[in-house]
């Protein structure tokens, strides 16, 4: 008992010290944090009932401003959906670059808001209706439906992958010292299909493990791209390096392309992850494109 009490007391003391060292008063969250400075018993009481507000809450002394939103032009594409990791790199006192991960698509709000945001129609409901008889699934790569349905599926999948990936936007300070967007030559987008039809936009995989992409004979599927990378999607976490570059990590990619590989490292065929489209489900986005 003394040992457990000692650990709790030490943790609580550490929490209080951490809270006192913070330059701001943390916003209360739905989950206990070390910064709340409470003992476990106090946390159980304080967090017994939690009220969730549909609003952005900031610590006292902080404010917020909108820099970019879904659909805003960025490079050769648009600002994507469901922002995750952000990397802020200040270039000088009044200019900076902001790198943004666009992680995934929430099918219902995405499909409902698409036309308003982009100014273009999305044949989402057409695809949902066309695939209703097969539980929303279709292996388009191996068994394409009628031409009009295939075109609609390709459109939905391409637009969904366009709203994922990575974006870079340039910022500047205004007269009040607040950051605002200033489109510049650094602005760019890497989407899920950025280099599929444009070889000039493809990246190259390097390092020992990339040899699997150059196998002359393989057990699994060959997408014909070799060691070239056409884009990125499902971008979740990230980080920055001391020399100013940004790292971006893909998460849960298996929802859109096959995850399993053969013993030689080659991939399963696209049929392993068929295209799926329902009102609230959108998976297998790589399947229509042979990915």
Predicted confidence band at 3 (pLDDT cuts at 50, 70, 90)?
Answer: very low
Higher local confidence (pLDDT), 7 or 249: 249
| Cβ-contact 28, 37 below 8 angstroms | no
Higher local confidence (pLDDT), 127 or 37: 127
Angle at 186 between CA 180 and CA 190, to 5 degrees: 105
Tens of pLDDT, residues 23-32: 888 777 788 8
For 161, phi then psi, to 5°, come to -75, -25
| Cβ-contact 23, 59 below 8 angstroms | no
Name residue, tokens 């049929």. Answer: 271
d(CA 51, CA 101): 29
Predicted confidence band at 55 (pLDDT cuts at 50, 70, 90)?
Answer: confident
SS3 73: strand
Q: Read off the pLDDT of each residue in 66-85 and give the average, rounded to a whole number.
A: 95
| 291 closest CA partner among 187, 139, 131 | 139
Tens of pLDDT, residues 205-226: 999 989 988 888 889 999 999 9
d(CA 186, CA 189): 10
Predicted confidence band at 15 (pLDDT cuts at 50, 70, 90)?
Answer: very low
Look at residue 125 in the predicted model and tell me its pLDDT.
Answer: 97
Look at residue 2 in the predicted model and tell me its pLDDT.
Answer: 34
| Cβ-contact 204, 228 below 8 angstroms | yes
Higher local confidence (pLDDT), 139 or 218: 139
| Cβ-contact 191, 165 below 8 angstroms | yes
Higher local confidence (pLDDT), 202 or 37: 202
Percent of the chain exceeding pLDDT 70 equals 93
pLDDT of 22 above 90: no
Q: What is the mean pLDDT of the chain?
A: 89
Sequence-distant (6+) residues with CB within 8 A of 30 are 47, 50, 52
Tens of pLDDT, residues 87-98: 999 999 999 999
Predicted confidence band at 52 (pLDDT cuts at 50, 70, 90)?
Answer: confident
Tens of pLDDT, residues 229-244: 999 999 999 999 999 8
**pTM for the full model?**
0.84
pLDDT of 9 above 50: no
Q: Read off the pLDDT of each residue in 181-202 and give the average, rounded to a whole number.
A: 94
Q: CA of 91: how far to CAs of 41, 68, 118, 170, 178, in Å?
A: 47, 19, 31, 10, 15
Q: Read off the pLDDT of each residue in 236-260 and give the average, rounded to a whole number.
A: 94
pLDDT of 180 above 80: yes
Domain ranges of the chain: 2-46, 73-289
């Amino acid at each position: 008992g003394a040992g457990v009490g000692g650990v709790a007391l030490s943790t609580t003391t550490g929490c209080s010290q951490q809270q006192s060292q913070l330059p701001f008063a943390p916003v209360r969250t739905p989950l206990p944090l070390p910064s709340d400075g409470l003992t476990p018993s106090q946390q159980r009481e304080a967090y017994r009932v939690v009220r969730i507000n549909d609003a952005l809450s900031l610590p006292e002394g902080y404010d917020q401003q909108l820099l970019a939103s879904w659909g805003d032009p960025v490079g050769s594409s648009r600002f994507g959906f469901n922002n995750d990791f952000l990397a802020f790199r200040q270039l000088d006192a009044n200019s900076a670059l902001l790198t943004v991960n666009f992680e995934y698509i929430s099918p219902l709000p995405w499909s409902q808001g698409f036309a308003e945001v982009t100014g273009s129609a999305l044949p989402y409901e057409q695809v949902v209706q066309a695939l209703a008889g097969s539980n929303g699934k279709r292996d388009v790569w191996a068994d394409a439906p009628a031409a009009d349905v295939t075109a609609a599926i390709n459109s939905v999948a391409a637009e969904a992958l366009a709203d994922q990936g990575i974006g870079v936007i340039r910022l500047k300070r205004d007269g009040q010292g607040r950051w605002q967007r200033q489109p510049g030559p650094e602005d760019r987008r890497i989407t899920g299909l950025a280099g599929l039809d444009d070889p000039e936009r493809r990246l190259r995989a390097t390092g020992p493990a990339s040899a699997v992409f150059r196998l002359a004979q393989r057990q699994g599927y060959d997408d014909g791209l070799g060691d070239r990378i056409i884009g990125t999607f499902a971008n979740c976490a990230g980080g920055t390096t001391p020399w100013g570059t940004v790292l971006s990590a893909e998460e849960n990619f298996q929802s859109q392309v096959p995850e399993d590989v053969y013993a030689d490292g080659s991939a399963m065929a696209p049929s392993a992850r068929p295209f799926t489209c329902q009102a609230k489900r959108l998976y297998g986005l790589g399947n229509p494109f042979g990915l």
